[in-house]
Every structure is written in structure tokens, then in C-alpha cells.
Structure 1
Amino acid sequence: MFALELTADLTGVTNLRPVDTQEDPYYYSFRVQCTSCREVHDKWVDFDRFTTTDISKSRGEANFVYKCQNCTRESSATIKTAPKAYMAASPPTKQVIIEFECRGCELTEFRVSDKWVAEGVSGTVFNEVDLAEDWYDYDEKPGEEVSVKEVGWAIRRA
């Protein structure tokens, strides 16, 4: 099992999470390494939690299935939980956003993609939070700036 952890400095917002519904899935983007030969896949791989692929020579299925180009071993990754919201904390703390079960591969690096949503402490919903860089907006209800800064990602064995 692998867990994707987020650390961020939230000001005026909380409940930060990816937009991830069956109608509008979030595509999780990773660098993947084969656990057999240690070859790192040469491209970023993107997969969502609603699409599955059959695993060959098995009755199972996974959200991501690939065959290593170096050793030809088949590997897979399955999203085990729905994404959890990152809650504001002072000081910012690492919080698990989502968990993956990997067989024959390791997730080594995460790249943020798509949009995230956050809720202002006033109740205002911000639907277009872009975590590729620091994000700033204005919450008209309290008349204050809101932000998500110093975003950090970590992948750890769970």
C-alpha cells in the first residue's frame, strides 16, 4: 500500500480536495518504477478511480495495469479509498489524501493535475483551485484574501 500525502498552508479555506466524481473523475499522475528490475517508466502515467482494466492471467482488475518495457513483468495499481479532504491545520501537517495498492510497481513521484475544490471558512466554495503553484483568491463574504501556499507532496508506504 502507498499513501499520497499533502502538506499545505491554508489561509481562510479548508476541506481541500480533488474534484473526483464519476461524472468528472480526477486523473492521478505518477512516475512508476518496476519492483522487479527497478526500471522507471519513461512517461507519466495517469489513471482515475472509476476506470478499471483486467489483469492478464487473473480474475482481478485494477485502475492501472502496465507491462514493464525492460523485464516485461505486468504490474498494477488500484485506488483503495476515495480521496480525503485536507483540513486546515496550524502549523501545516502531512495528511493522507488517498491510498493505492500496488503490485509489482511503486509510485515514486506525484504530479498534480486537474482542479481542486476548497471551502472558505465563510462557507464560500472555490471550485477552480490550481495546486500547480500557490493559489490566491478573494472571499467576498468576510472580505478577505484566501490562499493555498507551500504545497508539498509525499508518497509513503502505508
Structure 2
Amino acid sequence: MVKISLQIKANLENIDELYTIHPNYNFLLKIKCLSCGEVSDKWHDVTESQTYPTKMGKSEVHYLAKCKLCSRENSLDIIPGSNGKFTSNSGGKFVTLVTFDCRGIEPIEFSPAEGWIARVEESGKVFDDVDLSEKEWADYDDKANQSVGIYEFESQFIKVK
């Protein structure tokens, strides 16, 4: 089992916090089989609130798939309580959003899509269901009379102990 964290960073304009709607957020991932090296060409949904039964090991996992090339059954779990937030105090550094417990596979690419929450500290306004599929988003906070936005969204995966 390998634990891999998804980390994000972005430039926030008048946004204090950026995070996902856990446990219902669909993490869109591209996956690599560690047995044969096959990389998926499709995006795979991994959601903490959805589980699948397995034949061996753990009884249920958040993602289960058989490799198309080597036929090995691989799985992935979202570690409960591993969800984090990217804040305006992050100082342009990558911050862990979620950690996956991987068995036979590892995520190699992430697509942010929709379902994010952006909170404005000054006015207390919350923008829910923010769509980051274009890796940027902009709106207007009518309470504070200012523009808000998320720009230059980036992600990376790191192995953790």
C-alpha cells in the first residue's frame, strides 16, 4: 500500500478558502497500473461517499478496477479525514487536499472539474459549486463590491509515509 497525496496551489483574488465538498466530491483521476505500467486514457471518478465490494483484502474500496493490459485487480481508497483546504495564507505553496491509499495503482493526473467551494472572509459570502475545469474561475462578490477569482490552478501528487 502506498499513500499518495493530491496537492493544489492557485492564485486567489479576494478568496480566503478553497476546498471541495467532501465526501461527495468526484475526484477525476488518470490512473497508472504499477504492475505493467499501463496508463488509463479515460478519467476515473473517485468519491469518498461511494464504495465498491472487493474479493480480497478490504471488504469495500472507493475505486476498484481491473487493468486492461495485465488484468490485475487494483484499488484505491480516500483516507477519511485527510481532506484539506487551500487558503490565502498558503503563500503560493502546494497544500494537501486529500490523501489516497493505493493498492497496485497510482494517480498521475487530476482534473479539478466542478463542485468546489470558495469562501470570501471579508464579506462571509460562500460561492458553492465553483467550476475549475478550465483551471480558473472569476465572479463578483456583491456584498463586498469586489471581484473574486481563482487563477493559475495547479496540482501534483506526492508519496507520503
Q: TM-score when scaled to structure 1? A: 0.91
% same residue: 31
Q: Evaluate the alpha carbon distance shift between residue 87 and residue 69 of structure 1 in structure 2; reply closer, same or farther with a 3 A threshold.
A: same
Aligned 8 A contact 2:114 2:129 in 1: no
- Structure 1 window deviating more from structure 2 (55-64 vs 96-105): it is 55-64
Alignment-derived partner of residue 105 in structure 2: 105
Q: Which runs of 5+ in 2 are unaligned?
A: none
Offset at residue 6 of structure 1 (A): 0.6
Contact 1:34–1:104 (CA under 8 A) maintained in structure 2: yes
Shift of 1:128: 3.3
- Per the TM alignment, residue 59 of structure 1 is displaced from its structure 2 partner at its CA by 4.5
Unaligned runs of 5+ in 1: none
**Are the counterparts in 2 of residues 81 and 100 from structure 1 also a CA contact under 8 Å?**
no
For 1:131-142, what aligned pairs fall within 5 Å after superposition?
Answer: 131-133=132-134, 134-142=136-144
Does structure 1 conserve the Cα–Cα contact (< 8 Å) formed by 2:114 and 2:133?
no
1:55 paired with 2:54, answer yes
Of 60-69 and 88-97, more deviation after overlay is shown by 88-97
Coordinate RMSD, CA, aligned: 1.5
The answer for the alignment partner of 2:120 in structure 1 is 120
* Residue 156 of structure 1: aligned partner: 158
What is the aligned length?
A: 155
Distance 1:123 1:52, change over 3 A: same
Q: Which amino acid aligns with 2:100?
A: F
The alpha-carbon deviation at position 132 of structure 1 amounts to 1.9
Spell out structure 1 runs of 4+ moving beyond 6 A.
none
Partner of 1:40: 39
Instruction: After superposition, give the CA deviation of every residue in 1:40-88 in whole Å (9 maximum; x if it has no partner).
Output: 1232111200111122133432100111111111110000034212111
Instruction: Give TM-score scaled by structure 2 length.
Output: 0.89
Q: Residue 4 of structure 2 contacts residue 101 of structure 2 at CA under 8 Å; is this kept in 1?
A: yes
